[in-house]
Amino acid sequence: MTRIPPYQDVSTLAANLCISERTVDMWVRQERLPPPVTRGTKRLWKWSQVEQYLDGAGQTPEEELEDIRNETRRQAGNAR
C-alpha cells in the first residue's frame, strides 16, 4: 500500500492528483483546492484538506453563504 505524505509540495501534489503543477495553481485560484501553507519559500498542502476540497467540503465563501441562507430559509419555514 502506498502511503501519501500528510504534507506535499506542488510537484508531489500534482503527481498524486495526476495533474500538472500549473493546474494545481489554477485550481487554488479557482478555490477548487485549498491554499498552501508557506514555510519560507516552500509551499505545502495538507493532504487531508486537499481530500476535503476534492470531496466537496472545501466550499467557496459564496457557496458557504448560500448554504447558510438555504438552511435559514428551511428552518424558518419549519418554524411556522
Q: pLDDT tens, 14-40?
A: 999 999 999 999 999 988 899 999 999
What is the pTM for the complete model shown? 0.67
- Give me the CATH code for the 7-78 domain, please: 1.10.1660
3-state helix, strand, coil in the chain (%, to 5): 55, 10, 35
Per-residue CA distances from 22 to 5, 10, 42 (Å): 21, 9, 16
Tell me the domain boundaries of the chain: 7-78
pLDDT in tens, 2-21: 788 899 999 999 999 999 99
Q: What's the pLDDT score for residue 74?
A: 83
